[in-house]
Each structure stands twice: as structure tokens, then as C-alpha cells.
């Protein structure tokens, strides 16, 4: 894969945000060009990409998506990646989770590769997370809260038990397997190029096809992202005294990170999760508040933003849904400990203008969870394996792997990082 070299980088303390880099070639051949400073592009060989993917977990959050679409998504995830599907699909009157698990199992048999699936509302999973120290994740019914951020956190916790070193997220409702494949390739290429072990990659898709008056129109940006990016950029600009438009991926659902970084991140609930990742980086490593991780401050955190080539074509869940997502992003921004009074005032004004807040009222807070790295992971592993009855571990041959399998097998490998 060949990527544009980013020339502009904004710093927020120890966080380095690189400007958007276009994908120049999806496949740039085998040669390994030296990445000298004169080059305007960066080439990553298939071998380098494969090496990262073999060390990567792809977490697929899934809630009531169609079987055919899920199959397409699975087909696009490169062979070396370990798939972890975290479902919050309905189980009655038809058990859609069972259908999803069967779909994954069949895929694993045909593609001869492993995968893990679990249901977010599994009582055993809730018990395991609670015992591991994540009681905030549990709702009044004793089960894990619903929400995309919560599903991502489960995926991150399971990924940490596999011994792999990188994690990427792919939505289950993507209609274009080629786009899924490109995202995973871009994750690997950017993580390979990262010059810090604390690295994040966020995707900004090039276009989203929409039908307008019977014609396809390729719209450039998502409606939620534009607003989130605007306020994140305002925040960065006000700190450094210069306006910026460096953030193009405030809401990026498709993103990846090294687990060295991921284990330290606090995730927010629901759709606040992606914008809050930026805010958490600023809060923990931005140099404004005292960092709990001086070793990260020393090495710095690098954020790459990649503009991919495939159209982003996914299930349209309606205007209401987009509106909710925008609000959740603004809520976490407003309440972030690094948010400046001027940005807060602008957010308040925007929300009041939308009829979402009365004058002087504050937006609601979103849930923020502790980093997965602070949980008792050995405990989590033991309890997930014995009590989470929806946990399925497919080994890629023609029978269901006898638990404990994947998580257990690689636990020793995971141990050395903790």
C-alpha cells in the first residue's frame, strides 16, 4: 500500500496528530522503498502489512445486522487478523445472536481461520467484568449496558487476552467487503509506519454514496463528523493560538490502535466513544493535566488519519440516529476536563440554537469507563471462560473448539505485557 506522506502535524502536548493522508495505491508492489525525507509518498510492503495483521484483532460490533452483510464484512477482514464479534442483537423471538454465531462458524470452517463471538448481554460476561473491576459497565438489571462504546470495550478486553498487540474496529453493517479490506490494510500500513509504540489510526472514507433524484451522489463527509471535527479543531486551535483543521476523523468508527495505547484509554459509552478517544488523549497526554503515564509522555502518542479509496456504503439508520450521535459527541466535548470556556460557550450556543438546551442549561454527561489496563484481566479471563455461556471460540476446523481455547491458549503470551 502506498500512502501520501503527511507534512503537517499538530501537537497537543505529547499527542501528535498528522494531517489526513490519502491512499495513493491500494497495492504498491513488493519493493521496499526507503522512506527518505525527499519522498512524498510512503510505501508499505505486503509483508510488513501481513506481519502487523497477524498481530491484530479486528473487533466487529454488531446489533441486528443482516446475515448476508455480516458475511460480506467477514470476507473482507484479512486472513491474518483474529475476528472478535461482539453482538447486542435480539435473542427473541428469533435468536439472532445464534444466527450470527453460526455465520461466523461457517466462515471459519471455509476460510480455515479462528474467531471469537460473544453476546454483550450475557450474564456471565457481566459477572466477569464486574469481578474484574468494571462495575460501571453494569446496568440496573445486572447486565452489561447496551451501546457501541460498551461493545468496543468488551472487544478490547477480549483482545487483550489473546496476546495480540494491535486492535482495529470494523462496523458489521458495511455493504462493501472491499472497503473493509482497505480499512484493515490502512490500519496495518499506518501502524507499521508509526514511530511510537503508542499509536492510533483513524479512517476518513473518501465518499459516501447517496441516491439523489435517481442519481448516485458521492458525498464527501458524514453529517456527524463535520460538527465534531469543527469543535475538536476549535479546541486545539484555542490551545495553540492558531486555527487548525487538522482533525478530520472525530467520529471515525473505523479506527485502530496499538494495545500499548488502547489498554490505557478510557472509553466512553454509546456513540460518544470515538470523539472521546481524542479527548482522552488530550486529557491524559496533552500536558494540560498531570499524566498518569510519564513513559507515554516521553515517547509521545501518534495519530494517523487515512483517507481511503472505497466508498463507505453502510446501512442508513436515519436522521434521528445521526442527530443522537452528534449530541453525544458534543456532550463529551463540553464536559471534558480540557475543554476551554469559550468552546463550552459555543457548544452551548449551538445546542440552544438547535432547541436541545434551554438558556444556561448544561448538556448531559456521557458515561466514561476506566481503562481496560486497570482491570483484573486474569480474573476476567477465568470468569469469561467459565461463565460467559454465549462465548464461542471457533478454531477454524470443522468442529466447535472446546473451550477453553483461543483466549486460554494465548493467555501466557498476553501475560508478558501486563
Separation CA 209–CA 5 (nearest Å)? 27
Per-residue mark of binding to ligand GDD, 188-227 (x: CB under 6 A): ----------------------------------x-xx--
Q: Does 233 contact ligand GDD by CB under 6 A?
A: no
Separation CA 344–CA 330 (nearest Å)? 9
Q: Which is nearer to ligand GDD, 173 or 280 (CB)?
A: 173
Min separation Cβ 261 and ligand GDD, Å: 19
Min separation Cβ 315 and Mg ion, Å: 5
Q: Does 61 contact ligand GDD by CB under 6 A?
A: yes
Q: Which is nearer to Mg ion, 10 or 173 (CB)?
A: 173
Min separation Cβ 65 and Mg ion, Å: 9
* Contact present, 418 and 264 (Cβ < 8 Å): no
Q: What is the DSSP letter of 146?
A: P
Per-residue mark of binding to ligand GDD, 254-293 (x: CB under 6 A): -----------------x--x-------------------
For 280, the grid coordinates are 482522552
For 256, the grid coordinates are 485502530
* Contact present, 255 and 201 (Cβ < 8 Å): yes
Separation CA 164–CA 119 (nearest Å)? 21
For 373, the grid coordinates are 489496563
Binder of ligand GDD out of 65, 105, 277, 395 (CB under 6 A) = 65
Q: How far is CA 220 from the centre of its chain?
A: 21
Q: Does 120 contact ligand GDD by CB under 6 A?
A: yes
Which among 81, 266, 230 is positioned nearest to 167, based on CA atoms? 81
Angle at 77 between CA 116 and CA 22, to 5 degrees: 140
12 φ, ψ to 5°? Answer: -125, 90
Tell me how far CA of residue 163 lies from CA of 157, 169, 260, 415, in angstroms.
Answer: 11, 17, 12, 8
Q: Does 312 contact Mg ion by CB under 5 A?
A: no
Q: Which is nearer to ligand GDD, 39 or 317 (CB)?
A: 317
* Contact present, 40 and 240 (Cβ < 8 Å): no
Closest-by-Cβ residue to ligand GDD is: 253
Per-residue mark of binding to ligand GDD, 138-177 (x: CB under 6 A): --------xxx--x-------------------xxx----
Binder of Mg ion out of 113, 314, 326, 367 (CB under 5 A) = 314
Separation CA 201–CA 188 (nearest Å)? 9
Per-residue mark of binding to ligand GDD, 79-98 (x: CB under 6 A): -------xxx----------
Interface with ligand GDD by CB under 6 A: which residues? 61-63, 65, 86-88, 120, 146-148, 151, 171-173, 222, 224-225, 251, 253, 271, 274, 314-315, 317, 321, 325
Amino acid at each position: 500500500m502506498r500512502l501520501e506522506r503527511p507534512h503537517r502535524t499538530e501537537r497537543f502536548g505529547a499527542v501528535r496528530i498528522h494531517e489526513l493522508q490519502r491512499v495513493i495505491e491500494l497495492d504498491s508492489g513488493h519493493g521496499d522503498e526507503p522512506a527518505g525525507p525527499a519522498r512524498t509518498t510512503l510505501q508499505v510492503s505486503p509483508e510488513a502489512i501481513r506481519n502487523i495483521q497477524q498481530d491484530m484483532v479486528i473487533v466487529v460490533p454488531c446489533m441486528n445486522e443482516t446475515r448476508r452483510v455480516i458475511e460480506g464484512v467477514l470476507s473482507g477482514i484479512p486472513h491474518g487478523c483474529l475476528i472478535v464479534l461482539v453482538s447486542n442483537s435480539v435473542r427473541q423471538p428469533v435468536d439472532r445472536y445464534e444466527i450470527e454465531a453460526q455465520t461466523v462458524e461457517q466462515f471459519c470452517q471455509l476460510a480455515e481461520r479462528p474467531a471469537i463471538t460473544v453476546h454483550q448481554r450475557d450474564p456471565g460476561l457481566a459477572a466477569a467484568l464486574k469481578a474484574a473491576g468494571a462495575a460501571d459497565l453494569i446496568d440496573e438489571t445486572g447486565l452489561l449496558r447496551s451501546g457501541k462504546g460498551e461493545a468496543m470495550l468488551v472487544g478490547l478486553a477480549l483482545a487483550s487476552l489473546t496476546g495480540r498487540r494491535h486492535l482495529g474496529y470494523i462496523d458489521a453493517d458495511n455493504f462493501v467487503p472491499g472497503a473493509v479490506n482497505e480499512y484493515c490494510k490502512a490500519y496495518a500500513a499506518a501502524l507499521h509506519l508509526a514511530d511510537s509504540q503508542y499509536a492510533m489510526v483513524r479512517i476518513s472514507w473518501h465518499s459516501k454514496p447517496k441516491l439523489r433524484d435517481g442519481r448516485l451522489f458521492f458525498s464527501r463527509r458524514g453529517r456527524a463528523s463535520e460538527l465534531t471535527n469543527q469543535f475538536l479543531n476549535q479546541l486545539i486551535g484555542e490551545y495553540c493560538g492558531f486555527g487548525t483543521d487538522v482533525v478530520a476523523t472525530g467520529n471515525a468508527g473505523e479506527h485502530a490502535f496499538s494495545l500499548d495505547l488502547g489498554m490505557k484509554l478510557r472509553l466512553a459509552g454509546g456513540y460518544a466513544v470515538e470523539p472521546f478517544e481524542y479527548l482522552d488523549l488530550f486529557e491524559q497526554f496533552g500536558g494540560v493535566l498531570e499524566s498518569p503515564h510519564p513513559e507515554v509522555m516521553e515517547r509521545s502518542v501518534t495519530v494517523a488519519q487515512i483517507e481511503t479509496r472505497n466508498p463507505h456504503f453502510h446501512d442508513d439508520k436515519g436522521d434521528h440516529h445521526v442527530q443522537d450521535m452528534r449530541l453525544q459527541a458534543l456532550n463529551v466535548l463540553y464536559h471534558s476536563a480540557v475543554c476551554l470556556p469559550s468552546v463550552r460557550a459555543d457548544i452551548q450556543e449551538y445546542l440552544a440554537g438547535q432547541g436541545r438546551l434551554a438558556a444556561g442549561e448544561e448538556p448531559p454527561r456521557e458515561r466514561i469507563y476506566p481503562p481496560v489496563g486497570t482491570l483484573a484481566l486474569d480474573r476476567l479471563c477465568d470468569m469469561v471462560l467459565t461463565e460467559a455461556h454465549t462465548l464461542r471460540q471457533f478454531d477454524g476446523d470443522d468442529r466447535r473448539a472446546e473451550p477453553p481455547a483461543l483466549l486460554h491458549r494465548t493467555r501466557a503470551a498476553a501475560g508478558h505485557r501486563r
